[in-house]
Chains A and B, each alone.
Chain A
């Protein structure tokens, strides 16, 4: 199956700093990438949908100025958590869409201290 690489797999940062998470589709062009957040023992929560070359569409309740999403190419999307706070600590995971198939990244465990 197709491969989606997400980096870093884990990161610890200080409160107030920004963190960038990358999501790359390695062997196919993803016209749409999705970013999810997952709290412990809960299901995935869609944060935003990003299409190459256009602004991301954020779900209700997600702060677009805090969670900056850039989809600069058909193989790369980035999520930047700006001015991170401890409540932003979570598991973030991306998904690249190829037709109706679903390919997920490995996820990033963010801990803000």
Chain B
């Protein structure tokens, strides 16, 4: 079983829909990251969370430390939101700040 699990693996939505991507983890973490990768492109860090909730534009990320679960929400989705969304966790211990990645969620928003 992977230490970081994401669901769904693939998601197709119509423009304007509210989207939720889930991430569960089984290790102790110092922070959780939501990343975005467009096809053939680099990776953009959307959020870093250690507790609570963060909002940036149409994106909202929440984390429940007790349940070891995080969600990424996209409101009023748009075709330009189409990308792979990756959940990654920073684990405790050492100064190297390694990340453990989920397998990603491929989101396609259709006009």
In the bound complex, how far is the Cα of B39 from the Cα of A109, in angstroms? 12
CB pair A105 B42 closer than 8 Å: yes
Per the CB 8 Å criterion, the residue count for chain A at the interface is 24
Asked if B44 and A100 make an inter-chain contact with CB atoms under 8 angstroms apart, the answer reads: no
A18: Cβ under 8 A from any B Cβ: no
- Render A1-28 as a binary contact track against B, CB cut-off 8 A, 1 for contact: 1000010000000000000000000000
Q: A93 contacts which chain B residues (CB < 8 A)?
A: 42-43
A21 to chain B, nearest CB (A): 13
Check: A101 CB closer than 8 A to any chain B CB: yes
Instruction: Give chain A nearest CB distance to B41 CB in angstroms.
Output: 7
CA distance A1 to B54 in the complex (A): 15
Interface SS majority for chain B: strand
- Contact assessment for A97 and B43 in the assembled complex, using a CB-CB cutoff below 8 Å: no
Chain B: residues with Cβ within 8 Å of the partner, total of 24
Residues of B contacting A107 with CB < 8 Å?
A: 41-43
- Asked whether any CB of chain B lies closer than 8 Å to the CB of A49, the reply is yes
How far apart are the CA atoms of A63 and B89 in the complex, in Å? 26
Nearest residue, chain A, Cβ from B86:
A43
15 contacts between A and B (CB under 8 A): A31-B95, A32-B97, A43-B86, A43-B103, A43-B104, A44-B43, A44-B86, A46-B98, A91-B40, A93-B43, A97-B97, A101-B31, A104-B42, A104-B44, A107-B43
